Amino acid sequence: MSLLGLGVGLFSAGLGLGGGVLMVPAFITFIPEMDVHTAKGTSLFIILLVALTGFPRVRHAQEHRPQLTSSLVIIAGALAGGYLGAALTARMSEKAVLTLFLLFIVFLMLRLAVGEPQPFIQRKPTHKSGLLFCAGLAAGAAGSATGTGGGSLLAPLILLMGLLPHTQLVYSANQVMIATSIAAAPAHFMGRQLYHEHFTIGHVCLEVVPLIVLFAQVGIIIGVRLNHSMRAYHRRLILAWVLALVALRILIQMFV
């Protein structure tokens, strides 16, 4: 759990990916009898705490921040997507949701790996706002449905669409992770308890939270420095590898 917390902090502040891609499979693998729903709910709650504690440091290190209107549009999309993702997982079979998400992830992964890098493009405010809202909506829905927090989808989308400079991805992704986790938290806390261990409320196992959040603070310090020195090309390759891990985790979740 300590190493997991270190990785979560590094992913959150260094890449804007939250760490759900690490936590969900780790919980299912190393915590006996923990179900997928509890793993996702616990992951989203930890992502919320790590993003909240790490965002002031990320904000302080960010020299050029997105315009306030851009941030608000992304957050609005993420909030709507967070509710949508929770509704989808409640009304659709888990395998159907994961299949749709898997296809989208593979498409993004291939675009990042073999596509041409997309520079930041200045668009008309109305066009840019619409695209940013759609990116936030997709990231929020995927993050809520899979427990990854949305950053693993938002960062590639913004990078591929040229909506923001690559140096602003982590800043915006952390805002989306906070919004997505807040939107999904009530549903997970009020969900039917499936993991019958101490300190579990609904789909959130509080027992593992303190240690992971504590060691995530160390990962945040390292991640902020990593984000500051990373180039666009390296960011694209790392995101492609992370999406490959996300796809692998979804396949294992679907068929094992």
In the chain, what are the domain boundaries? 2-255
In angstroms, the CA 116 to CA 135 distance is 20
For 83, residues 6+ apart whose C-beta sits below 8 A from its C-beta are: 144, 183, 184
State the average pLDDT for the chain: 80
What distances in angstroms separate CA 113 from CA 107, 161, 167, one per listed residue?
10, 15, 19
Task: Write down the pLDDT at residue 118.
Answer: 58
**Alpha-carbon torsion 117, 119, 124, 125, what sign?**
positive
Is residue 201 within a helix (H) or strand (E), and if so which, with residue range? strand 200-201
Q: What is the sign, positive or negative, of the torsion defined by CA atoms of 235, 252, 146, 188?
A: negative
Using a pLDDT cut of 70, give the percent of the chain over it.
88
Residue 114 identity (one-letter amino acid): V
| pLDDT at residue number 115 | 64
Low-confidence ranges of the chain (pLDDT < 70): 86-94, 97-98, 115-127, 147, 149-150, 253, 256
Span 10-55, pLDDT tens digits: 888 888 777 777 888 788 878 888 887 888 889 889 988 998 998 8
| Contact partners, residue 75, CB within 8 Å, separation at least 6 | 136, 175, 176, 179
Question: What per-residue confidence (pLDDT) applies to 86?
Answer: 67
The model scores a pTM over 0.85: no
